[in-house]
Structure 1
Amino acid sequence: MSRSDQVRDNYFKPLETAESIKNKAYYLTVALSFYPSYSELIPESYRLYVSYLSIVMVVFYWAIGFISRIYLSPRANDARAKEFISTAFGVELIHHRTDGYYNNDEPEGYKKMALMILENSFFTKEILKKMAIPERIKFGVYFVLWLILFRISSFDILSTATTLFFSEEVVSNLFRIEWQRMKTEKIFDELINSVRLSDSQSITVPAIDSLVAYETSKSLSGILLSSKIFNENNARLSNEWDRIRESLS
């Protein structure tokens, strides 16, 4: 079965591009942030340019993050929410649609929405599990380096390293991934039990409650799911989801 996702193509890909640029800018900013401690290693004629570049990168890093968080991310999530409601209730809130996803056979309504939330939360928690692995490794490596610098480096270098280590890209990023993973796992477990025990009428409240909890967790964590991990694991997860869906029929 062919699949297409116009919402991802039109809204999430620009966000992914911005996040990729932001991550690269972060590492360049990290390298430049240590410049004052090693400025004597750079020819004097270039020192002023390096200082200017450091300032430009700090401003650029902030700007791309601001644009992503204030414009690109809300725009993409709003489009996804409209497409979700359109599919669940058979309405047309957005002309960009997905094809080949949300393939449960329930008629439009809250039971269909509940199964769609289950599918979303299942894929989200599994992708977050995979995303957490390299982030844990990165956290461990950075923490060890920070401990080494704590023992052997000057205060200026340690201060810079501490600022970078406890930044949004390292400690905060890992904690947000782990928090959203745990929240999504809880949403999935609670909703699947409700679907098993409820009929089409009594599922309304659990479905709405789960939708609010799921969207709130996404908004608070601010984590963009990895499309690379999704594509690598899509076939396996789709088969697993099909078995879950069939068990609920």
Structure 2
Amino acid sequence: MTTQAAKIDPIRDRFFTPLEIAELWSARLFFATIVFSLCVAYFDEPSQKSLISTLQWIQVVAVLALFTLDIFIRLHLAPRAHDARAQDFLAKAYGAPLISQQTSGYYNHAQTDPILGLAAQLFENSLFTKEIVGKMLRRETVLIAIYMVIWAAVFSNRDVQLSWIALCAQVLFGEQILARWLRMWWLRQRCEEVYKQMRTLYVNSPAPEKFAVTALDAYTKYESSKAMASITLSSKIFDKINPAVSAEWELHRKDFGI
């Protein structure tokens, strides 16, 4: 049995941990705006005008804070983190450090040629990413199902006010719920495609030029998919599935002489 090297990831601590914290606060602010909307709808009486006005102002502040935080995430934290990850990936493949802090024990292969190293790393990365996103998707699917049942129950009840139906729709079809699930599902499909493409590449073992251009095409698809989906992979799920997926990767290495 091959002994797996200890995995050290300073990039996650430096770049992805702040991103995860910001995304957590973004989710909290999103649900806070929903709560304030519910409170405004619930206390919608002339005698509670002062309370409603206060809640509305708090809601405005929460919405502005959510907008600012989401822009900060999309335009700074997320690109910075993904750039660092891509730089580490290329540094390992080409042996030319692009970033001062690099991972250790994450790319397991014996390739010395840059293209062969890139292909091996992409094969391994796509395997891990599709498994991690798959686990995340299962959990999110359960939540989506619960939200769908609640929304359908509210929508089908004629005694419920239209404002409450609108709020339930806002929760379900907001960026944090259904849109996130769809982006996660799409990323899982794309990573599965890249994984199959890389496995087929090693099975067919084409000429060096065809091997190189196919590997580079798959790498472009992999990176662009992660950027468009904007899904931060769960470190907890990675730690949980790491032994099993690493063992699967070792079988791939043995089968294809990587």
Contact 1:12/1:76 (8 A) holds in 2: yes
**Equivalent residue in structure 1 for 2:168, among 149, 157, 161:** 161
In structure 2, the partner of 1:60 is 65
Give the partner amino acid of 1:186.
E
Within 5 Å, give how 1:196-207 maps onto structure 2. 196-198=203-205, 201-202=208-209, 203-207=211-215
Give the partner amino acid of 1:14.
P
In structure 1, the partner of 2:244 is 236
Within 5 Å, give how 1:55-204 maps onto structure 2. 55-152=60-157, 153-198=160-205, 201-202=208-209, 203-204=211-212
* 1:199 shift after superposition: 5.8
Give the partner amino acid of 2:226.
K
Q: Distance in 2 between matches of 1:106 and 1:241?
A: 15
* 1:201 shift after superposition: 2.0
Deviation track 1:95-136 (CA, whole Å, cap 9, x = no partner) reads 110011102001041011101001110000000110011211
Q: Distance in 1 between matches of 2:24 and 2:236?
A: 12
Give the partner amino acid of 2:135.
K
Percent of paired sites with the same residue: 31
Q: 1:200 to 1:86 in 2, by over 3 A?
A: farther
Q: Distance in 2 between matches of 1:31 and 1:25?
A: 10
* 1:43 shift after superposition: 6.5
In structure 1, the partner of 2:226 is 218
Moved >4 Å (runs of 4+): 40-46
Contact 2:32/2:62 (8 A) holds in 1: yes
Whether 2:27 is the aligned partner of 1:23: answer yes
Contact 2:40/2:55 (8 A) holds in 1: no
Q: Distance in 1 between matches of 2:134 and 2:243?
A: 16
Deviation track 1:64-118 (CA, whole Å, cap 9, x = no partner) reads 1111111000011111111111110111211110011102001041011101001
Q: For this pair of structures, how many residues does the alignment match?
A: 249
**Unaligned segments of structure 1, at least 5 residues:** none
Q: Distance in 1 between matches of 2:66 and 2:236?
A: 23
Q: Distance in 1 between matches of 2:48 and 2:244?
A: 54
Whether 2:13 is the aligned partner of 1:9: answer yes
**Matched position secondary structure for 1:86:** helix
Contact 1:176/1:223 (8 A) holds in 2: yes
Contact 1:90/1:108 (8 A) holds in 2: no
Contact 2:29/2:62 (8 A) holds in 1: yes
Contact 1:114/1:195 (8 A) holds in 2: no
- Root-mean-square deviation (CA, aligned residues, Å) is 1.8
Structure 2 length-normalised TM = 0.91
Structure 1 length-normalised TM = 0.94
Q: Distance in 2 between matches of 1:43 and 1:233?
A: 53
